Structure 1
């Protein structure tokens, strides 16, 4: 007897002849198959990037790239503290597959293309590129995101920017640890949190002593440092100049100094993480480490905040990318498998689940691209005000929806979904990090209150955004009125505002997403999303769509 696997003839038992299984989802253009993303890229002003995005879609949908994604998460990073002669080197070795993935992302401009070529739609195009890569392999997206975001903090400090930004803008990936003058390109990381502080960065104990000029010597530890083999890091430390305490400052720590000298950057251990295994996260120690001031002394939080805003945006984009992978794999499986005499995709209960997952994915993607549009170089003052509030609002909602979305999609594959041989097991483990990184739920909700308090224009800008679809949906209008009423109540009672922070944030986010769906999704998708999220019959579970929803039409579009 003969059986077949992936097109090859294999001699074996008839029991190994595989039927009723969807083929491997490879050899596809992920951008071409994602109609909602293609339409949104054009709607948000980046239609000129279509050709490049098709190239990226074909690359990440290819067998070789997906094979590298598997290898990078199977052959995990290895820490090397010393070389063979006992010299301290503190290097992390990655599998070659990981370098190939990052090299491809850098070549496509997923890191800094929006900064290097700031034309209209550049941030939207970069966001779409980032999502396509993160859809298949999320681990590499961390250093790619941090490099993109770091530009915002470095660009106003020419004593660092003049030498480093050209390296960040380069599309020629250089993985070796070399002095900056010998590097063809560079990636940037950050190290903010400490054991005793977490999100409370002011509780840190790392100290920077002024050496002269803008140079400091840093001593302390950092509890989380992602991508420790990056070329430079933004670090927060309490600085002092002699006996004068300057406050919490932002410092730039290069891994290599001039003439090939290694800076003191001790890797204490690598974290054993829940999610992806391809990217290393480490505990690190500084001990007389050389650093350069970024921004002004004592204004570290202000210096770093624009970087944080952009990494929060990338948390939204990364979650949306994961949702797209979940929908794509679940629909692919349902179209390729029969049960009880019919294709899974044609069975009403499954169709409803797939449609609901697709609606969530589309709303998250539109949210991410609209946020990216607000970060464009030509953004107006109103755009800046809107993004100050919309970014934490969206980060809270989209990222918190990610894990449950991944689980429901995983369940669509049944037992296969629960195995590491299929990509949704890894995705299920990965999605929670987006809700934790750059501020977990309470931190983000409280940041929403802080944005409203410090920047009252942001509330007005947010209301203006919602009013663009006023009258288009009775349900959304009613929800918007309730939400703006709650916002006014919270503003009038700041002492009790934290008790309502989560509810307010979620309400703002749902209004924002529903408005975007009305503007940019087909009416069948928009109406179903609004009814399922805001209607009287809404459910906490996926798949409980309102009666009359054309679920098959929604699934076919995705």
Structure 2
């Protein structure tokens, strides 16, 4: 920078303006088109207020503050009473209040299916969750678990009737009080233990029945429980009849605090806004959800819903990173011109844009399957599509975010840009709920035990047959792989198979619905044999058009 008379070094030149003041929903053409396609244009319009607030400078600042001011564990009150509370910064509550108020928690489960909004409630909520999570990813965890709890609660009518209206409420009502005194509630989950991790059948927490009405006391621990200030938790424990699911309220109906000891908060990679904790149970009261010995089957509906949100959350991280990168290169000059006009930078950003659009299209398509669970095809597609997408989209996110960060150069490496938070957060969804291996193996499980899921998958990708020869060849290659793998080869090849199936599913969606230039680049770079995975190595295409489509417009 050159000093000028009167201005000196205080005058800043050639810096991109802050990305704020845009509508995160309508400025994202891939998202808006997917919502209109799988729901309606009215659904897009209903998300406009959320989009404006998510793109505001105020939301951006609250997201930064929530991560700069970490939650604090308060084991005891001033008198020495054990309280096990976690104090959050006001910006956390600002974000949570709006997420709940916009209906991003369990609201869709109570929607009126006779209305347009109700028929497409899960697509609308998915798009809102995708857009609002771009403000700050950490607070999406309790929102996601609250959304996911309702399908599992339906295993018991009484418990569902008690908790679902509160979880579906648009009122954010924090504080340690019994459910009867709250306008809204949040849910969490506790599955993993120190010795088992994803192998929940190795859990040793003991559930002791205290009566014949389904009341138990829990004795043991949970290794990861996010948002320990939530009102109710779904947990797994070993009952006399085997691994069982339980509903554990933070406060008992008579107003006394349940025995829920927060041992410590995790010092973890990723966001700093959310409180991930270790819990210990010592006679903690819980209520059985479903039959004894059926814990995994009972909670699996919650797991399926959190998988959807893992895909949405990772796709959201991709989109926020892409927005920051494309905005920066559109306003930054180097080597004699605007970066966005440089052919190699266009190649990089267009590649990132195609990755983001493919993730967005798949995530919203799977959300639409939740709106149509009575349809056998949709239910089967959801069964196979969720582990595929959870494996693939979440696995692709760290590399994609790293490349977007690099587009900003040194500016992207400082916390103020927001990119370091996205980069630290990028691996999370691949780990949470089950690693890549867990989801790849679940794909094999679904294929071997539920033949209808392969039929649904092939029907879905087959709808794009004949539209692009590269997609057709990829489908044929995939069928050949499925036909030649022996049972002994299946497990070692699970990741390769899951990745190919996911990419083909993305390709079919883009060929059917995306602009031709986006589908062309995806099929050329993701479905062929010559692409090494390096972003910015596209062989050609309408790159400038793709970059322009992906770049946010402010105002």
TM-score, L = length of structure 2: 0.96
Unmatched 5+ residue regions in structure 1? 4-10, 241-245
- Matched residue, 1:422: 417
Greater shift, 375-384 or 155-164, is seen at 375-384
Structure 1 residue aligned with 2:30: 36
**Residue 7 of structure 1 corresponds to which residue in structure 2?**
none
Matched, 1:281 2:280: no
Q: Deviations over 1:148-168 (max 9, x none)?
A: 010010023112111111101
1:555 aligns with 2:554: no
Deviations 1:391-440 (Å, cap 9, x if unpaired)?
Answer: 10111000000000000000000001011111111000001001101111
SS in structure 2 opposite 1:79? Answer: strand
Contact 1:112/1:169 (8 A) holds in 2:
yes
- Asked if residue 239 in structure 1 is aligned to residue 232 in structure 2, the reply is no
Residues in 1 aligned to 2:528 and 2:355: alpha-carbon distance in whole angstroms: 15
CA shift, 1:113, in A, is 2.5
| TM-superposition CA deviations, 1:100-147 (whole Å, max 9, x none) | 101100000011232121422211111000001111210010000101
Distance of aligned partners of 1:291 and 1:46 in 2 relative to their CA distance in 1, 3 Å threshold: farther
CA distance in 2, matches of 1:47, 1:379: 24
Q: Pick one of 496, 504, 519 that aligns with 1:503.
A: 496
* Distance in 2 (alpha carbons) for counterparts of 1:537 and 1:343: 31
Equivalent residue for 1:522? Answer: 515
Query: Could you give the per-residue CA deviations for residues 198-242 of structure 1, whole angstroms, max 9, x where no partner exists?
Result: 0000111101001111101000001100111110100000002xx
Q: Report if aligned partners of 1:533, 1:539 keep a CA contact under 8 Å in 2.
A: no
CA-to-partner distance for each residue in 1:322-358, whole Å, 9 max, x for gaps? 1100110001100111001100100011111000000
Deviations 1:176-211 (CA, angstroms, capped at 9, x unpaired):
111000011000000100111000001111010011
- 1:271 maps to which residue? 266
What are the residue-to-residue correspondences of 1:215-230 with 2, within 5 Å?
A: 215-230=215-230
Q: Deviations over 1:517-556 (max 9, x none)?
A: 0111001100111101122442310011123x11000011
Whether the aligned pair in 2 keeps the contact of 1:46 and 1:125 (CA below 8 Å) is no
Residues 1:76 and 2:75 aligned together:
no
Q: Secondary structure at the match of 2:415?
A: coil
1:139-538 matches, cutoff 5 A? 139-212=138-211, 213-240=213-240, 246-377=241-372, 379-490=374-485, 493-538=486-531
Deviation at 1:49, TM superposition (A): 1.6
Contact 1:46-1:122 at 8 Å conserved across structures: no
Aligned runs of 1:121-132 on 2, under 5 Å? 121-132=120-131
8 Å Cα contact 1:46-1:120 kept in structure 2? no
- Contact 1:446–1:501 (8 Å) recurs in 2: yes
The alignment covers a number of residue pairs equal to: 542
Return the offset for 1:16: 2.2
**What is the distance in 1 between the residues matched to 2:416 and 2:260?**
36
Measured in 2, the distance between the counterparts of 1:423 and 1:484 equals 42
* Residue of structure 2 equivalent to 1:6: none
Could you tell me how far apart the structure 2 residues matched to 1:219 and 1:12 are? Answer: 71
Shift of 1:489: 3.1
Q: 1:267 to 1:46 in 2, by over 3 A?
A: farther
RMSD: 1.5
CA distance in 2, matches of 1:215, 1:101: 35
**Match of 2:119, SS?**
coil
The match for 2:553 is none
Q: Distance in 2 between matches of 1:488 and 1:380?
A: 28
User: Cα 1:377–1:525, aligned 2, differ >3 Å: closer, same or farther?
Assistant: closer
Q: Distance in 1 between matches of 2:183 and 2:484?
A: 54
For residues 204 and 188 of structure 2, the distance between their equivalents in structure 1, rounded to whole angstroms, comes to: 20
Structure 2 residue matching 1:136: 3-state secondary structure: coil
Contact 1:225 1:283 in 2 (8 A): yes
1-structure distance, mates of 2:147, 2:78: 36
Query: 1: distance between equivalents of 2:56 and 2:36?
Result: 24
Of 95, 100, 110, the residue aligned with 1:106 is 100
Answer whether contact 1:46 1:124 (CA < 8 A) is retained: no
For residue 97 of structure 1, the aligned residue among 77, 91, 107 is 91
- Between the aligned partners of 1:318 and 1:381, the Cα distance in structure 2 is 26
SS, match of residue 535 in structure 1: coil
Q: How far apart, CA to CA, are the structure 1 residues paired with 2:61 and 2:368? A: 33
Q: In structure 2, what is the Cα distance between the partners aligned to 1:385 and 1:125?
A: 21
Q: Is the 8 Å Cα contact of residues 189 and 234 (structure 1) preserved in structure 2?
A: yes
Instruction: Say if 2:108 and 2:168, in contact at 8 Å, map to a contact too.
Output: no
* 2:155–2:298 CA contact under 8 A, matched in 1: no
Q: In the superposition, relative to structure 1, how do residues 116 and 12 fare at CA in structure 2: closer, same or farther (>3 Å)?
A: farther
SS of 2:426's equivalent in the other structure is helix
Where 1:224 maps in the other structure, the secondary structure is strand
| SS of 1:259 mapped into structure 2 | coil
| Cα contact 1:69–1:136 (8 A) shared by 2 | yes
For 1:123 and 1:374, the matched residues in 2 are separated by 9
Aligned partners of 2:495 and 2:529: how far apart in 1?
21
Shift of 1:13: 6.6
Deviation at 1:377, TM superposition (A): 4.5
Report SS of the residue matched to 1:495.
helix
Structure 2: 5+ residue stretches without partners:
551-555
Q: Which moves more between the two structures, 537-546 or 259-268? A: 537-546
